[in-house]
Each structure stands twice: as structure tokens, then as C-alpha cells.
A and B are shown apart, each in its own frame.
Chain A
């Protein structure tokens, strides 16, 4: 029973981080129909920016998280303006190839700038876990879970309650009609890619201090983010959240009770099962964004 409770807490913490990884990716696909292969590298970028601000420049930890996220937004906007805007009429395969190329450039730039050795980001939280009966969790992990939840909620509110959100959803449903209604589709795309990138960078900024920061940290994360988004349903925000938690719990419980050796395989087995039974993913809503 003690083990079950600990696995539940671990699965929740892991699922929260996975959900955060998934939403940025699903947003960009939902609005722009762009498969963002730079997602994992933007995650690593956010983590490195946090490292740079905290360890090299001595910036306050919380401020560093915000600055790293903003840096991710700026990098995302630049990628959209320089690469994607020119390819708006291009087919999805060409865009995918460009994004794969961009991810390789970003990863190699990180290696060049920071070297291959992984780095630890100092954080102001106690290193000892909070203990409640048989369950323990680091305060830093709870902070990450809380911020992830706040970001998910804030993001949903932005889509549902603001003019920018309406413009994004309108662009998703029908870009031509949205343009006729006065929506500046080009800027919606830039804003969407920038926000999606900022969310990836925020995930990296939050998880960098939990784990370690290295130039290849985005590889597995990028793969998992795709798995989460496919599991939840492409372009679905609730789907990405649900997919994140589903993957987190499956990995945690399968790893804890069945086999740690095949822990990742169970996550992908879940995806195969979901796609076999519900090809549109867990949340196949008609209007997915929001």
C-alpha cells in the first residue's frame, strides 16, 4: 500500500511534467498544422537559459525561470518569422524537413556553446523531501507541478477568454474565413509558435533543475512530447493534458510493478492500444484547440 501511494505521487508529478511538454506541441500543430521537431531543442534551450541566468549571471531563480521562458518565446518568434512564414504555402513534408534541420542546428549550437558535459542548476528549495506518512516528494517537484498546473490553466483561459485566443481558434477552424473577418493570420501564426515555444522553454526551465541539463536532453523529451500529443489527440489541449498524465502513470506503475527494463515500452504500448481503439486519440473533439 505504501508503495502504491508513492507510485501515485510519482506518477502525478511525472504526468504533470509530461502534460506541460505536450501542450506547446499540440498548440502549434492545432493552429498551424506544423509538426514542430524543434520542440525538444526549445526545451533544452529553456533549461540552458535558466542555467546561464542562475549559475553564470547570478540572477534570482524565479526571475531566471521567467526570463528563460521569455527567451524561448523570442526564439520561437524568430524561428517562425525566419523559417515558417516563408513556407506558409509549402506542403507539410517540406515544413517537417525544415523543422528537422532547425532542430539539428539548435542542438549542435547548444553543444558548441555549452560543451557536452551535463550541468546541475542550483535551486532555492530544500534538498530533503517533504514527508507525509509513507509518501515523500521534493518541494521542487511540487513547485514544478504547481507552476505546470498554473500554466495549463492560464493558457486555457487565454484561449477561451481573450481576443487573441478567439483569433487562434478561428485561425485553426478556417484560416481564410478568419482572415476575411479581420484576423491577422500571419501574426496569429507567429504568436502561436512563439507561445508554443515559450511553453517548451518553460518546461525545460522548470525541469532542468529537477534533472540535469545537457545538449541532448531534448531528444527523449521530444519523442515523449510527440507520444503524449498523439495519445491525447493531435491539436487537443485537454488531450495533451490527459495524455501526459496517462503516460506518466503507465510508466510509473509499469516500471514499479512489472518491469523497469521495459518501462518506456509500456508507454508506447499504451499509444498503440489507444490508436488501435481510438485512432483520433483520447480527446477527439471537433474543435480541438481550447
Chain B
């Protein structure tokens, strides 16, 4: 349980805790995101969330009497570029802490570098289990694993009518997609749901007709789609074209926001597992923080639906800054140790880390909240 003081810390009462006036140099916080490439939409949303958190925190006095500077690098939706971006952030910009890197594939590629340079990273999105079970003590994940998401989703199965009986998967062919299919299959099979076919797609694929035609032939009633927001949008549009005729549930927290302005034809609906539903900030675990985040985002005039992913960057920044405050100095090892003591409220809910992975080499794992959003004819509602 978090106390009142922690609540105040999360951006609401920073002036009371920080020294006013930015005489000293800024404290740099490194972030690597896919700002271009196949999953650029999500990466930009997350980066924007971190940017507004930086502004909110700086307006409130920064941390340790110093302003914050977000140093953002583009990993170009590519694991090799993700590694290069971390090299730049650590060696050139000398950041003591990182946030990244959206996709599990990019995060897994980066992780050896965290060990090599002994710099902690708050993982804001990636969901593959291996990220926190492989024995990397520099990893602190605020996003849920696919397994956590699947278990939380299984608890909400009663909200679907007619009930799910048999499911298929359409997953992007990487750690994120395959991992989600595996964990959702296991979790839902344990609830007596039959698991059918899994079709995969490369991250760059735009024509998904072959996969959807194959899925149309099965006797399942629901298809789980796991991929980035661009491909998710294509999958939903092409499912209409191929007359898939099944309930579609997307996983991973991304939301096909462009289908609000350009809705699918009447009679087509989809369900989306989200970690923040900006249409309903009053129903967030900490409505005041969600409202601040949403208001700041809207002030920028950014796409509203980007809020569904932008909160990851916002919460990650709150987490990192609280760790720096607890550490008392912007040094990598002190921040790593302090991350274990972080207990703050965020947009998604309470943020605190429990140990995951082999003893002595544990990573930190947060336990986030999950909600299900229904999208029909451009309109959203919470299940």
C-alpha cells in the first residue's frame, strides 16, 4: 500500500521536496525508442509521455535541486540500432539511467550493454518474460509481462458475451508476438478454452490477407492479435475485407487510434487490452495523476489516442526521478539500488518492484493494471 507522501511525490508536490532555481547542470535521463520504422507510432507516443513528464517535473523544481533533461535516441525499430543508441547515450551523453526500448526484441538486444556499462534501465513497454527472468540486475520493468497480462485478462473473461470457447492467434513474428501467443494460450487453456491456430506475420508485413484467410477457415470464435499499432490497424481493416467473422482482441496495450477518425464499417467491433484508457481518466487508479497527464498531453495538441501508450513514458519518468531522489545523487549504481525502494503512484496505478529471476541477479518487475476497451464504429467504451 502506498502512503500519502508517495502520492504527493509523483509530480503533485515536487516543489515542497526540491530546491527551487536551476543553478546546477541538468540531470540527464537517457531514452531509446522506435521514433521511426515499423513501430514508430508507439515509440513516439511513449517518448511524448516522457517529454511531458519531464516538463511537469521541471516545473515542480526538478530533482535534487537540478533540472531534468531527457536525452532521446531513435532506435529505428531495429535491435542493432537499439544497441547503438544505448552506446551513444551511455558513452557520449553519460546518462546514469535509461528508459527503453519499447519492443522486447530491442530491449533484449540492449540488456547485455546494461550489464557491461552497469547502467540501470526502466523498461516501459516490453512484455517478453525473459527480460526479467534472465538474471539482469539492471532491468526494472514497469510494464506487465505477457503472462501477467494474460492472467489479468483471464480474470475478465466473464465480461465477454457470448463466452469464449475456442481461440486463434495472429502474432507478429518476434519475441513480443510469439511470447504473447504462448502466454495467453496457456492462461486461457487453464480456464477450459480450446486453443486453435497461430498465424504469424513479419513486423514489416502490410498485406495480411493470407493469414486472415487461413484464420477464417477455423472454428474458433475469437482471434487474439498481438503487434504494433500500425500493423494492428491493418489487421483490423483487412479482417473486415476478408470477412473474418470472429471477435478480435488485441493485446499489449496498443490501441489503433486512427480507427476512431476512420472507423470500420458498422457491425464491426474490436476489443483492446489497455493499461490506460484516456477516455475515462476518472476510472484510473489515481485519477488526479491521470488527469494531469491527460491535460498536459492535450495541451500539446497531440493525437488523443496516443495517450494509451504515452503513459508508459510518463510513468517511467516518474519512476526514474523518484529513484534519483531516493539515491540522493545521479549515479548509476545508486539509482539502481534506489529503484528497489521506489513506491509511487502512476497513471497506470501503483509502481513498485518485486524481484524476478535467478537469486542474486534479480530484475525488478512491477505489477500493472489492465482494462479492456471496446471499439465500435469509432466509439470507445470500457468493459
Q: Is B230 an interface residue (CB 8 A)?
A: yes
Query: Are the C-beta atoms of A117 and B40 separated by less than 8 Å?
Result: yes
Q: Is A14 an interface residue (CB 8 A)?
A: yes
Kindly supply a per-residue 1/0 record for chain B positions 308-320, scoring 1 wherever the CB is within 8 Å of any chain A CB and 0 otherwise.
0000000000000
Query: Which range contains the number of B residues in contact with the other chain?
Result: 35 or more
Complex alpha-carbon distance, A220 and B34, angstroms = 18
Query: Are the C-beta atoms of A141 and B37 separated by less than 8 Å?
Result: no
Q: Is A63 an interface residue (CB 8 A)?
A: no
Query: Are the C-beta atoms of B234 and A261 separated by less than 8 Å?
Result: no
Complex alpha-carbon distance, A129 and B173, angstroms = 28
The winner among A14, A119, A260 for most chain B CB atoms within 10 A is A260
Residues of A within 8 A of B211 (CB): 255, 260
B379 to chain A, nearest CB (A): 16
Query: Are the C-beta atoms of A127 and B240 separated by less than 8 Å?
Result: yes
Within 8 A of B (CB), among A216-264: 216-217, 219-220, 251-256, 260-261, 263-264
B179 to chain A, nearest CB (A): 15
Residues of B within 8 A of A264 (CB): 202, 205
Q: Is B2 an interface residue (CB 8 A)?
A: no
Q: Is B38 an interface residue (CB 8 A)?
A: yes
Query: Are the C-beta atoms of A212 and B213 separated by less than 8 Å?
Result: no
Query: Are the C-beta atoms of B210 and A117 separated by less than 8 Å?
Result: no
B98 to chain A, nearest CB (A): 20
The chain B residue sitting closest to A10, CB to CB, is B209
Complex alpha-carbon distance, A260 and B171, angstroms = 11
Residues of B within 8 A of A220 (CB): 204, 206
Assuming A118-B230, A127-B264, A260-B199, is B213 touching A6 (CB within 8 A)?
yes
Q: Is A177 an interface residue (CB 8 A)?
A: no
B21 to chain A, nearest CB (A): 35
Residues of A within 8 A of B40 (CB): 116-118, 214-216
Within 8 A of B (CB), among A165-215: 211-212, 214-215
Within 8 A of B (CB), among A81-117: 111, 115-117
Query: Are the C-beta atoms of A3 and B41 separated by less than 8 Å?
Result: no
User: Which stretch from A26-34, A64-72, A131-139, A149-157 is at the chain B interface?
Assistant: A131-139
Query: Are the C-beta atoms of A131 and B243 separated by less than 8 Å?
Result: yes
Q: Is A122 an interface residue (CB 8 A)?
A: yes
B30 to chain A, nearest CB (A): 19
Selected contact of B204 from candidates A116, A119, A219, A251, CB within 8 Å: A219
Query: Are the C-beta atoms of B37 and A252 separated by less than 8 Å?
Result: no
Query: Are the C-beta atoms of B241 and A3 separated by less than 8 Å?
Result: no
Residues of B within 8 A of A56 (CB): none
Assuming A3-B213, A256-B214, is B41 touching A116 (CB within 8 A)?
yes
For this complex, 6 residue pairs linking A to B, each with C-beta atoms less than 8 Å apart, are: A7-B210, A14-B207, A117-B41, A136-B242, A216-B36, A260-B201
Where the two chains meet, the residues of B that have a C-beta atom closer than 8 Å to any C-beta of A are: 34-38, 40-41, 43-44, 74, 77, 173, 199-202, 204-207, 209-211, 213-214, 216-217, 230, 233-234, 237, 240-243, 258, 261-265, 303
Where the two chains meet, the residues of A that have a C-beta atom closer than 8 Å to any C-beta of B are: 2-3, 6-7, 10, 13-14, 111, 115-120, 122, 126-129, 131, 136-138, 141, 211-212, 214-217, 219-220, 251-256, 260-261, 263-264
